[in-house]
Amino acid sequence: MPVEPLSQKEIEERLAELPGWSLDDGRLTRSYRLGSHFAATAMVVHIAQVQEELDHHSDLTLGYNTVSLAVHTHSAGGAVTEKDVGLARRVEDLAAGHGAH
């Protein structure tokens, strides 16, 4: 089933529901700071598990105690879709559980 890109207005509405997330270079982006490298690594593993479950994968970067994501839908020509918003929401839930800010 094809995934439709969100309009700029729809993206802005979704971002209002996702504090800390922004649109950067056509992607939904967010960085999280955690208490340690181990905590950041654990969060990356949990994000990877959610991505596999959703069959939707983002660009995911691990720093010393930071995790950064850039999310868009390749099958929609690199546009932002509801799949991206859904992944962002799931990551927010994970971040809360990991004490990320």
- Dist. CA 15–CA 88, nearest whole Å: 10
Tens-place pLDDT, residues 63-90: 999 999 999 999 999 999 999 999 999 9
Amino acid in position 45: V
Tens-place pLDDT, residues 11-29: 999 999 999 999 999 999 9
Task: Write out the two tokens for 17.
Answer: 């529901």
CB 67 within 8 A of CB 31: yes
- Dist. CA 16–CA 99, nearest whole Å: 21
The DSSP call for residue 78 is: T
Walk me through the domains of the chain, giving residue ranges and CATH numbers.
8-72+83-98 (3.30.1360.20)
Task: Write out the two tokens for 75.
Answer: 């099958």
